[in-house]
C-alpha cells in the first residue's frame, strides 16, 4: 500500500529526493530533505537575513555586535584592541601550598582537615605534607572541653544544656 500524499520532494535541483520528514528553510521558505536543510548545504540566497552572530569577548565577557557580512573574529579582535573594558582582576592561582620548599599554587583552596593549612594537589593528603594537625586537632578538642567543663571537671554555669547540645527536635 502506498501513501502518495505523504512527504515532499527536496527543492534542491540536484536532489529531488522524496523525504517523509521534510524541513522548511526559515530564510527562503523552500522544502528540503535532511541532507540539504542547512543554509550552506542548499546555498541559501536568503541566509544573510538569518545568519546573525553575536560573539562574546573572551576578556570582558560582553557581547560584541558584528555587522552583517563581517567575520566575527575580526570584530572581536578590533574590540579587544580598541574598546575592551577588561581590567586585570584577582589572580586565578592565589592559593599557595604551605608545604616546605613547594611553590605550587591552585585555583581552589585545598585546606587540610587536620592542620587547617592550604596545600596543592600534590600535598593535599596529611601523609604527603607530614601533617602535625592530628596533634593540634586533639589539643583543640581538649581546649574546647576545658572551655565547657572548666579545669575541675564541673560544667561551668555559663553553659546550659541547649548551649552544649543545641536544639534537638524529636520527630
**What residues does each domain of the chain span?**
1-51, 53-84, 92-149
Q: What is the pLDDT of residue 150?
A: 66
CB 50 within 8 A of CB 31: no
pTM to 2 decimal places: 0.34
> Which backbone phi and psi does 129 adopt, to 5 degrees?
-120, 25
What tens digit of pLDDT does each residue of 87-102 get?
666 555 678 998 888 9
CB 90 within 8 A of CB 98: no
Distance CA 96, CA 68 (A): 47
Higher pLDDT, residue 34 or 161 = 34
- CATH class for the region spanning 92-149: few secondary structures
> Does residue 128 sit in helix, strand or coil?
coil
Q: Domain 1-51 is classified in which CATH homologous superfamily?
A: AN1-like Zinc finger (4.10.1110.10)
- Residue indicated by cell numbers 553575536: 54
Q: How far is CA 29 from the centre of its chain?
A: 38
- Chain length of the chain: 171
> Does residue 31 sit in helix, strand or coil?
strand
pLDDT band at 29 (very low <50, low <70, confident <90, very high): very high
What percent of the chain lies above the pLDDT cut of 90? 12
CB 79 within 8 A of CB 57: yes
> Does residue 35 sit in helix, strand or coil?
helix
Burial (Cβ within 10 Å: 0-12, 13-18, ≥19) of residue 117: middle
Helical segments of the chain, H only: 47-50, 72-82, 133-149, 161-165
Amino acid at each position: 500500500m502506498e501513501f502518495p500524499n505523504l512527504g515532499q520532494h527536496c527543492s534542491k535541483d540536484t536532489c529531488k529526493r522524496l523525504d517523509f520528514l521534510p524541513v522548511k528553510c526559515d530564510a527562503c521558505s523552500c522544502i528540503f530533505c535532511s541532507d540539504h536543510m542547512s543554509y550552506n548545504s542548499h546555498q541559501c540566497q536568503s541566509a544573510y537575513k538569518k545568519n546573525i552572530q553575536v560573539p562574546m569577548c573572551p576578556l570582558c565577557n560582553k557581547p560584541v555586535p558584528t555587522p552583517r557580512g563581517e567575520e566575527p573574529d575580526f570584530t572581536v579582535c578590533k574590540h579587544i584592541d580598541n574598546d575592551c573594558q577588561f581590567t586585570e582582576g584577582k589572580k586565578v592561582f592565589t592559593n599557595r601550598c604551605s608545604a616546605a620548599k613547594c611553590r605550587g599554587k591552585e585555583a581552589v583552596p585545598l585546606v587540610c582537615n587536620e592542620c587547617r593549612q592550604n596545600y596543592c594537589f600534590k600535598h593535599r593528603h596529611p601523609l604527603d605534607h607530614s601533617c602535625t594537625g592530628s596533634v593540634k586537632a586533639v589539643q583543640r578538642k581538649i581546649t574546647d572541653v576545658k572551655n565547657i567543663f572548666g579545669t575541675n571537671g564541673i560544667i561551668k554555669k555559663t553553659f546550659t544544656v541547649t548551649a552544649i547540645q543545641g536544639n534537638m527536635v524529636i520527630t
